[in-house]
Structure 1
Amino acid sequence: MNTKLRLALYAQVIFFALWAAWCMRNFNNAPAIWLSTEPVDPRDLISGKYVQLRYQANNLEKLNCPAGGNTLYVRLDPAAEDTPTAKGPVRLHEAKACATAPEGEGIWVKAQPSRYTRGRVTYGIEKFYLNENDPLLDARSGTLAVRAAIGRDRRLRALELARKTDARGNITP
């Protein structure tokens, strides 16, 4: 009996180690982009300490996206000018096109159409969990920029947050 339990334990450890290695490899040397956020009510006391995020790139109403399907691809292009943040100036990316498959050049990322709101998509990075003492915990979405890595499967992973500032470096309210 002990041998069977040990084998089951070893199998589980090996499975989770391989899974972690695959997840890390998917984002190894991945390019990173910055996304701008929109205001949203961030509080949910049951789920823990996180910042609820909504991105300007979530709203695709102006792009005439194809209807149907479970997956859309959104092309993100860099903005014309840098945006000042607490981590220095960053070039934010904006949604410029969408399709059912990546078309042509550019940064294409995978998104899922929202079940509840027409013309909106989710990228899987709408929550960013923080340490209890992190000063960004009280930050409102809309005052933040998010650095996200693009995996080989074209999914986004949020890496860090930065507060937007004005040209003089003052944090925007």
Structure 2
Amino acid sequence: MMPEPPFSSPLPELPEPKRRRWLQWLVAAQVLFVLGVAAAGYATAALGRTLWLSTQPVDPRDLLYGDYLNLRYQINELPGQLWRGSSPPRRQQAAYVLLAPAADGTHAATAIYPERPATQGSQVVLRGSVQAVWRRGVRLRYGLERYYVPETMSRQLRQRRAMRVQISVAPWGQARIIKLDTTARQ
């Protein structure tokens, strides 16, 4: 008979049926999470209102993911006077941007709220987060700032000209890019 090592203590083992059930719940939770993320994307496209935003592309390249465009929207940096909160905005705070149709067919920001505002007519609310605050402005992020493109398209877009992006905004504020309009000029 061999002596046990001095610092080893046997770990209690779960009975086989409980271990198997626990593993099944863990796998089911992961599958449900992935399906939920996919369903949220499809729900945003199916239930959301579509609108156009003006943007300016930046063309970086990621060795792991390929070509993508960093998009700078006109609604990414807004004047501080559009803030409608009782206290100044803080970094990482949720922000709800009220968008209204502009004369050029895109939507433009009319106000920024710390909580979801009511809309009227053709107004849309886009949820974002405050990234930076300075004396006269606010920088916001919406999760729409990166768009992966085929390599042939990124070569065409290296000119960094103004374009329009069509997005779908779900009733709960989540947004998704639907397509790029590279023929738009400003």
When normalised by structure 2's length, the TM-score is: 0.68
Specify whether residues 126 and 116 from structure 1 end up closer, same or farther in structure 2 by C-alpha distance, changes over 3 A only. farther
2:49 paired residue among 31, 46, 53: 31
1:99 paired residue among 105, 113, 120: 113
2:74 paired residue among 50, 56, 59: 56
Find out whether 1:21 has 2:39 as its counterpart: yes
Find out whether 1:71 has 2:94 as its counterpart: yes
For structure 2, the 5+ residue unaligned runs are 1-15
Listed one character per residue, the Cα deviations across residues 131-163 of structure 1 (whole Å, up to 9, x for unaligned) are 233x24541554221000001221221111011
Listed one character per residue, the Cα deviations across residues 81-134 of structure 1 (whole Å, up to 9, x for unaligned) are 3xxxxxxxxx1111121121214422111121123775221111001011233x
Query: Counterpart amino acid of 1:68?
Result: P
Find out whether 1:126 has 2:145 as its counterpart: yes
SS in 1 for 2:177: strand
Query: Counterpart amino acid of 2:141?
Result: T
Between the two proteins, the alignment pairs up a number of residues equal to: 156
* 1:130-145 paired onto structure 2 within 5 Å: 130-133=149-152, 135-140=153-158, 141-145=160-164
What is the Cα deviation at residue 73 of structure 1? 1.1
Specify whether residues 68 and 12 from structure 1 end up closer, same or farther in structure 2 by C-alpha distance, changes over 3 A only. same
SS in 2 for 1:53: strand
Q: Choose 1 or 2 for highest CA Rg.
A: 2
- Mapped partners of 2:148, 2:38: distance in 1: 19
- Mapped partners of 2:114, 2:96: distance in 1: 6
For structure 1, the 5+ residue unaligned runs are 82-90, 167-171
Query: Counterpart amino acid of 1:100?
Result: P
Specify whether residues 10 and 45 from structure 1 end up closer, same or farther in structure 2 by C-alpha distance, changes over 3 A only. closer
What is the Cα deviation at residue 36 of structure 1? 0.5
As a proportion of its length, which structure holds more strand?
Answer: 2
